[in-house]
Chains A and B, each alone.
Chain A
């Protein structure tokens, strides 16, 4: 009896099949056609990360991620290859990328911390400088140029100017770099490719370059071209110039009838580049220190407020005046930490204007972004294109966006979404961006494109 029962138990165990779940939902194109995809944009679209461009960054750019998802659509999905003007190396071009390493405080060698340092291995600039488009019959699907502004789209010979400003990216693959404007190149590529779908993410640099230089230039949106159609890169592009250049580029993009998605501009003042060093990062331990500082500035006729604990740094504002920072003002990530800890920056010496975004500079940036985005929205509506509200998506980032168990935030390094330059996303950050674009495309075009597994991509790596 027992023997028979034990055979029964064995049979039961054998018969228990292991469950499996396979969710296969066919990806569909909806009202759009993704056969031929063209990506237009700046460094964010090129795959720039950790302060430079690398071939791995390019291969994990959000347009490449989108293309891979578009390829999974059986009818009207992307076909063929997604050609990008690839570099040859992973060391960075033209400057080295950042990596995380232990850095030592020069005035206290015992004090070490983890921070970004330039990749110490030799660059491969001679090989990276050349890109041969002829191998792919001139087909390039990602014509993003790191550093490019919407305002640059009318600038004839842009590639040469940019290279002179240490941004030689356009020079690598533009068809006619000596005289063509970015819009000429865009038109050339559109007529060459006949894209059925495009994404365009332009405009961040029209404010970012002003902000990352601590608000140089006029900033109030009344700048005039330095020469020809070329605006000072360190200033904010006037809204009228932005609108007309954006409109020009957009009309080129849709000139062969492509549908697409316009991606708006995030509020750049919430990215780690501006939020990592707190404006009230001065810690005073003794009342004596506070009194000394107060007396020092009083003798110069500057009213300050110092107490034991956290204090706002001393800064130099846009007009060259020394004053104490006020809540909401931003110290740039490029402000050297050892200058603060060893050389009295922010305490006895004001932090230079080029490393500070003051209240009115922040307002200049935010006002411009709102105006640019209003125009992008208007254009999306006018041309019946999907409008990706990346601004709203990024606004959720400071509180954290949780994806499959990882909370991504704007915390520098540890937040996981932003790379070591504090401005550009990590590959995981780009995957989050790709998913938001996919979500918007699916809603607008009634398509069903599969989202990406964000955590499959690389984030920050620690030594």
Chain B
């Protein structure tokens, strides 16, 4: 006989920074909350991020990943929220006003019925084949996150001589980490014309360790039938296609890839949660409520963030409102789409619920192209400008945050067709 169904208010899926913040916020509202974690320990990917740079905004100090995770875990434990580790959600059934989760755990099948779900499932790494690197398939090809886990958690050294493709933050951090462990890092190759990592990481991880960064350069193929023997690298043209005449043979035994993160939303798909084609995460309103009633989402499964502090912030919002949804029943939402214009790659949230008691919103955006001039971000509704913010420089890798405060929120006309966010370049002023 299977264990009886357990009834709770809120289930949080994932115990990374988003899930932990959500669980704490949910419990603080008085909701009976449980966190499900498929790995052996809570903390998500923070566990393996032993470098510092976490928590500048949330804790006003610089912490390592495990330190940051520890604080969040302690908070959740203090709030008496159980974190069930080794608990894998195999499927979710959508009932009337509840969700039934079927979980696999070493103590048997656990069935949990929840009024609200918070998806905090994070993201996965894009692999070599998903960026169409060809050639052989030997041992010695790692995603940066896997290499990081092998070194920092398992104490294993992935190779002796490495080439890194992709200058996202994980790629940069791994260049430094490998160097510290005595691995010869031949260089970091970036297909774009600039690094997609934070500026501080380029300084601290590459320049301080004399690791060369090759921009507009990519790995074209891998050589070696058993273990990597070498990679071919080549410069790329404006369309990011390799220029074969520039191809070079670089002997190495390891290829590390930091070529992008993909939000993990397989459970969201199974619940038919609408997904934003740009972020690859669920479409959410300003309280992180997806377009399926009762399903909330936060953190990197919504959109890939650059700072953990933002991930935690979205978790807190999602947790708080998931609890409210579960406890107070289901109020109708008045969703107003947020449209974007100009150089904006995306804006999250994609919707504002104007009937929500939450009268302010944290918004995040990324630009498509670098802007090195002063830019204004204008928030308009029904042809009327509600707010205007100024940015000095904007880079695609950097996620930007702005807030719609209570005053502005209240000035959104009801009903309104949409809220539009546009980026406008400011003409140079003549002081």
Instruction: Say if A and B assemble together.
Output: no
B residues in contact (CB < 8 Å) with A:
none
